[in-house]
Amino acid sequence: MFIYTREAHPGENVPHHDSFERKLACAKLLAEETGIGRDILVDDLAGTVHFAYGLMPNMTWVIGRGGRIAYKADWTSAANVEAFLERFLAARGEHPPGTMPVMYESQQAEFRYPDRKRFMQRLRRNGPRAVAEFEKAQELWAHRAGP
Amino acid sequence: MGEADAGDGAAAYNYARFDDYVAAGGDVADEAAFWASPRAGQAAPDFALPRLGDGGSVSLSDLWRSRPLVMEFGSFT
């Protein structure tokens, strides 16, 4: 399931949302252009669900049966989610007599390899302003990082 | 939904310029919000949202009741 939030890089073609109707129109356009086959749920204009789950632009959460959080990642990696689901579902399957899986929490850094070309294509799709503003943001990030 | 929702909070959330958002520290605040969000093992916040297409109201808890739910958040980029 996919939850449509806000436009992280608004531009001339895909603007920021100033009404729920515009947000719905953008979500519809996204579905048409990307062919997302899963159900798409649309958050409200104030981002109520997005706020509750942590505001990152491309994150994935897995919720276990009964509503306990099983996994949260501030970036979506399909491979990482699939690997987790395999372990998670195995723990809920059959296990040797006399043993019982016990949940524990871990936290570790993961690494991704951004597809810069694809990302720039998406920025250009949103509009020239989205590209220019991202370039300015990169300067700000470089300034933050220091010399 | 509609114009009634376009208050100051919604306007700030739906920023118009990414560079201004970064300059104001919005991206840093978002990271902090993620780490302040509920942890693994805790109860997931439940909401009902409209489904694109038919507009039907979908409760997250209905989705995770019968099997694990994978929720991906995103937009065009």
ipTM of predicted assembly, 2 dp: 0.94
Interface test with A, best of B42, B49, B76 (most A CBs within 10 A): B76
Report the pLDDT value the prediction gives residue B6, as an integer from 0 to 100.
Answer: 53
- Regarding pTM above 0.90, the answer is yes
Q: Are A116 and A138 in contact (CB under 8 A)?
A: no
List the one residue out of A83, A68, A61, A143 whose CA is nearest residue B23. Answer: A143
Give residue for tokens 């109201």: B57
Q: Quick one: what percent of chain B has pLDDT higher than 70?
A: 92
Considering only the beta carbons, identify the residue of B2, B52, B61 that sits closest to A67: B61
A134 shares contact with chain B (CB less than 8 Å): yes
Helices (H) and strands (E) in chain A, counts: 5, 4
Top pLDDT among B27 and A98 is at B27
Whether A66 and B15 lie within 8 Å, measured CB to CB: no
- Indicate whether B75 belongs to any domain: no
Question: Looking at residue A92, which CATH number applies to its domain?
Answer: 3.40.30.10
Q: Which domain holds residue B58?
A: 3-66
Top pLDDT among A146 and B3 is at A146
Considering only the beta carbons, identify the residue of A49, A56, A105 that sits closest to B34: A56
A18 phi, psi to nearest 5 deg: -110, 5
- Indicate whether B40 belongs to any domain: yes
**pLDDT-based confidence at A96, cuts 50/70/90?**
confident
Count of the separate structural domains present in chain A: 1
Whether B34 and A122 lie within 8 Å, measured CB to CB: no
The tokens for A116 are 């810069």
| B51-62 confidence digits (pLDDT tens) | 999 999 999 999
**pLDDT-based confidence at A55, cuts 50/70/90?**
very high
- Indicate whether B77 belongs to any domain: no
Count of the separate structural domains present in chain B: 1
Q: Which domain holds residue A90?
A: 2-114
CA–CA separation, A75 vs A81, rounded Å? 10
Mean pLDDT of A19-47: 96
